[in-house]
Amino acid sequence: MQSPELGERLLAAGFAPDGSEPGMAVALDELVAPRVVPGLQLERVTDDAALAVWADTLARGFGEGEKEAQWAASVYRVLGYDDPWRHYVATVDGVPAGTITVYLAAGVAGVYFVMTVPEARRRGIGAALTHAALAQVGSGYAVLTSSSAGRSVYASLGFRALCTIDLYQFDQRASAAAARQ
């Protein structure tokens, strides 16, 4: 449940609205298998070298690119490679084609950093790698927020939109102006 003052507090602290995304969930025993992607393999990240491949792949098509991917990798490097975090690189015929990260807690798998490299999109890789990673979790639920491009992909796997998540971006200029007041 959201505090009615949360948005106002974030704005006062120097954050700016940055859109919204649907919050989606699925019971893992209701997860729908996607079509098979020939040559797709999902490899779990277990060391720094594999994390570098994960970061390089993520940088090719997610968020702020290289900057965000390297930041995320630096955090995950400190956290280690054992549960509750699981990072994966999807390859097609041995070539990195996508990423996913799963966080496990209290019977729930949080899904993050699902990305397919631009030249491999629209082939079902995002659905296939999401399904493959979640199939390894076992029972429980999976939750995620979805971009507009990903919503139909997740719906095809059985995810349902349950809420809307408002997004905010820190704005240094607004924060500095608020501090001067």
Alpha-carbon span 181 to 177, nearest angstrom: 7
Alpha-carbon span 130 to 9, nearest angstrom: 35
147-174: pLDDT as tens digits = 888 999 999 999 999 999 999 998 877 5
CA distances in angstroms from 125 to 66, 73, 140, 181, listed in the order given: 21, 22, 23, 50
Confidence of residue 175 (pLDDT cuts 50, 70, 90): low
**R_g over Cα of the chain:** 18
pTM exceeds cut of 0.85: yes
CB 77 within 8 A of CB 51: yes
Q: Domains in the chain, ordered, with CATH?
A: 9-180 (3.40.630.30)
Helix axis angle for 66-79 and 48-59, nearest 10°, is: 160
